Amino acid sequence: MRAPAVLAAALAVLAVLGGVVWWQSGARWRGELYCFADPARVWGVADRPADLTPSCPSSRGVRREVRSGQTRVEQFTLARWDPALVRDLLTARGYAVAHALPDDGIQAEAVLTRAGETVLYTAAHQGSGTFVTLSSPGER
């Protein structure tokens, strides 16, 4: 009985080390979701609802800016029009709406702030769905 527990612990350690090697090797930056520290979370502060699909800009320039820390960006697609979903996730985690523009038929926008951080929130119509972009200056 002890051998399976030791084996399980060894496999867990190898998985963690593999994740660290993946992160340090730069493989994250080549992947489709390179802009997320954790694709299961929204902006690192809220669990991502299952119907919210994460994505990152395909631009090599944006990829380079994110990797260097100049820019932070996350994108999400939702099959229905719900411009408040992601914004509400962030405000529930302490972000305040500093300024907002209502839906003008093209998109809804807001500037969110928390502890000195500023996040630009854009929810654009994408057919009957929503395309959300969160962005901010990087951590440099």
- Digit-coded pLDDT (tens) for 105-131: 899 999 999 999 999 999 999 999 999
pTM: 0.77
Q: How far apart are CA 104 and CA 1, in angstroms?
A: 64
In the chain, where the domains are located: 1-30, 33-137
Positions in the chain short of pLDDT 50: 18-25, 140
Dihedral of the alpha carbons of 26, 28, 34, 36, in degrees to the nearest 10: -120
Straight-line distance from the first to the last Cα atom of the chain, in angstroms, rounded to the nearest whole number: 50
